[in-house]
Amino acid sequence: MAKGIVISPDKCTGCRTCELACSFIKNDSFNPKDAAISVLPYDVAGLQVPITCLQCDDPHCMTVCTVNAITKDSKTGVVKVDDDKCIGCKMCVSACPFGNMTYSSRQKRVIKCDLCDGFPQCVKLCPSGAIEYKELDGPLNKRKNITSLFSDVFGEVAK
């Protein structure tokens, strides 16, 4: 079974260390706009929610890529972008149903989590344990039940 990032929004303090770690490790700069993880506010519940690529079982980003710059590793399940092949059309960014891919106009490339080749630094440096890297409990369609996630975390507020 593949390993992946699992996020517990109820543990997130909103420190954004994950964004800074990611941007520094991948780009040698502390710029959250260039991070493959983002912390989004959920003001109604007073929570911060880290989001990143879910490494989909059937990635839409890969399907729409006209130059085959996006591939999925059959062993690890990691979906990667080959920057040398990518033409910067941003179709993959538009195709992601979760909004977990971005385009850096400064770097002229797509930004997407690749799990740091099995050693995600956002996980390592998260002070509250809100981001974990662990064995996944099945296919994505069973893991991504957003409604139950928000109900469990936010209770009646999400309804």
Mean pLDDT for 32-48 is 93
Mean pLDDT for 5-17 is 95
How many CA atoms lie within 13 Å of 150's alpha carbon, on the beta-carbon side? 13
The set of long-range contacts for 87-93, using a CB threshold of 8 Å and a minimum separation of 24, is: 91/64, 91/65, 91/66, 92/60, 92/61, 92/62, 92/64, 92/65, 93/61
Percentage of residues in the chain having pLDDT higher than 70: 86
Q: Is the pLDDT assigned to residue 127 strictly greater than 50?
A: yes
- The domain defined by 3-55+97-146 carries CATH number 1.10.20: no
> What tokens appear for 124 in the block?
């390592």
Residues 6 or more apart in contact with residue 88 via CB below 8 angstroms: 103, 108, 109, 110
